Amino acid sequence: MGAEQKVAIITGASQGIGGALVSAYRDRNYRVVATSRSIKPSSDTGILAVAGDIADPATAERVVSQAVERFGRIDTLVNNAGIFVAKPFTAYTDEDYVNILGINLNGFFQITRRVAGEMLKQGSGHIVQITTTLVDHASSSVPSVLASLTKGGLNAATKSLAIEYAAKGIRVNAVSPGVIKTPMHAPQTHEFLAGLHPVGRMGEIRDIVEAVLYLEGASFVTGEILHVDGGQSAGR
């Protein structure tokens, strides 16, 4: 394994979009640091699993220090870990607020600033957030203010960081999904959720993976919020 083999950190890597991103980056010959609370050690020596709660700064510290110690560099960070709680605004509890902001926002902040520090030393890197198209296209059938508050913050931070780092070799982008067929959604909800998209179907995990891989190779693209949402953000 030469020093030229790239390294990606994927958060929320135990299942769903994150699990598929781990496989996709391995298929592209990246070494991968996979993190989530329940992530299990891998028999693949190109995957380092680091278990922890992304809302806890100690997890970010462990992920980044072990990535550098084991693989020597960090080329890509995909901030994929996230939770989604849809409720009428007044039904959100203090616990919901702490959990959602802790995972979606503190999680982003704690790991991204540590990774960015390594990327600045290298003079290169790519950071991608997975947000949600509800930020741009609120829906009366899916009330979810705390998703918009947190993922909208990530969209804004994506542009801000992209500009801060534009001349430093680090690109920063986001993928903004519609509703994707992952364990987040029970099968009995799929028909209803498909109907929320102008194209009449839910997204597949591969739709999001392909978008992230496009951004990975798109050296002239930074500060982009790439909507992968079956037309939701365009209207209906």
Ligand X SMILES: NC(=O)c1ccc[n+]([C@@H]2O[C@H](COP(=O)([O-])OP(=O)(O)OC[C@H]3O[C@@H](n4cnc5c(N)ncnc54)[C@H](OP(=O)(O)O)[C@@H]3O)[C@@H](O)[C@H]2O)c1
Q: Which residues sit at the interface with ligand X, rule CB under 6 A?
A: 12-18, 36-39, 53-55, 80-84, 103, 130, 132, 177, 179-180, 182-184
The least CB distance from residue 60 to ligand X, in Å, is: 10
Q: Minimal CA–CA distance to 34: which of 81, 83, 2, 82? A: 81
Compute the distance between CA of residue 120 and CA of residue 75 in angstroms, rounded to an integer.
11
Give 169 or 200: the residue with its C-beta nearer to ligand X: 200
The least CB distance from residue 189 to ligand X, in Å, is: 10
Report the amino acid identity of residue 91: A
Give 35 or 222: the residue with its C-beta nearer to ligand X: 35
The least CB distance from residue 6 to ligand X, in Å, is: 22
Q: How many CB atoms lie within 10 A of CB 4?
A: 6
| Angle at the Cα of 107 from the Cα atoms of 97 and 156, rounded to 5 degrees | 85
Compute the distance between CA of residue 117 and CA of residue 222 in angstroms, rounded to an integer.
18
Give 4 or 211: the residue with its C-beta nearer to ligand X: 211
Report the amino acid identity of residue 94: D
Give 18 or 125: the residue with its C-beta nearer to ligand X: 18
The least CB distance from residue 114 to ligand X, in Å, is: 15
